[in-house]
Amino acid sequence: MNHLSFVQGGCVVLRIDVPPGTRLIDVIRQETRRGSLSLPWRCAQGTCGACVLKLSRSQGPSPPVVLGRLERNVLIRQGQLPADAPLEQPDTPATPRLACHVAVDSDLIVYF
């Protein structure tokens, strides 16, 4: 199991364990419906940009993340990345991500 901590305004609002490979958006949808989170999401397909958030890995820095073209283009359209942003981005809390494009593969801290 991978451990997720959701942080809003500097406070941990939810801790949950999920199986490896779980899509982050599926966790967010489930916990939002339960009332445990108030995190926006809309399409869950990676095209609207509503589920933008920041992540950090509990075990520290990791190799750069390679965004898919769709995720990169949506983040550019949303003004989250510059127009010339490469697909490879540093895996830091400063890098915006779309929850619908993230498969949970380690313990994560989710900032929203």
Asked whether residue 61 carries a pLDDT value surpassing 80, the answer given is: no
CATH number assigned to the domain comprising residue 102: 3.10.20.30
pLDDT value of position 58? 79
Domain count, the chain: 1
pLDDT single digits (tens) 8-31: 999 999 999 999 999 999 999 999
> What pLDDT, in 10s, does the model give residues 41-60?
888 788 999 999 999 997 87
Please report the pLDDT score of residue 24 as a whole number: 97
Distance, CA of 48 to CA of 101 (rounded, Å): 12
Q: Report residue 62 as tokens.
A: 């990791």
Q: Residue 7: is its pLDDT beyond 90?
A: yes
Residue 21 lies in domain:
2-111
Q: What does pLDDT average to over the chain?
A: 94
Asked if 1 and 106 count as a contact pair (C-beta separation under 8 A), the reply is: no
CB-based contact 43:56 (threshold 8 Å): no
Per-residue CA distances from 98 to 70, 102 (Å): 10, 7
List, in sequence order, every residue forming a beta bridge with 4; answer none if it has no partner: 16, 108
| Token couple for 110 | 């989710």
Residue range 67-81: mean pLDDT, rounded: 97
Determine which helix (DSSP H) or strand (DSSP E) holds 85, and give its type and residue range. Answer: none
Residue with tokens 């599926």: 26
**pLDDT single digits (tens) 97-106:** 999 999 999 9
In contact, 108 and 55? CB cutoff 8 Å: yes
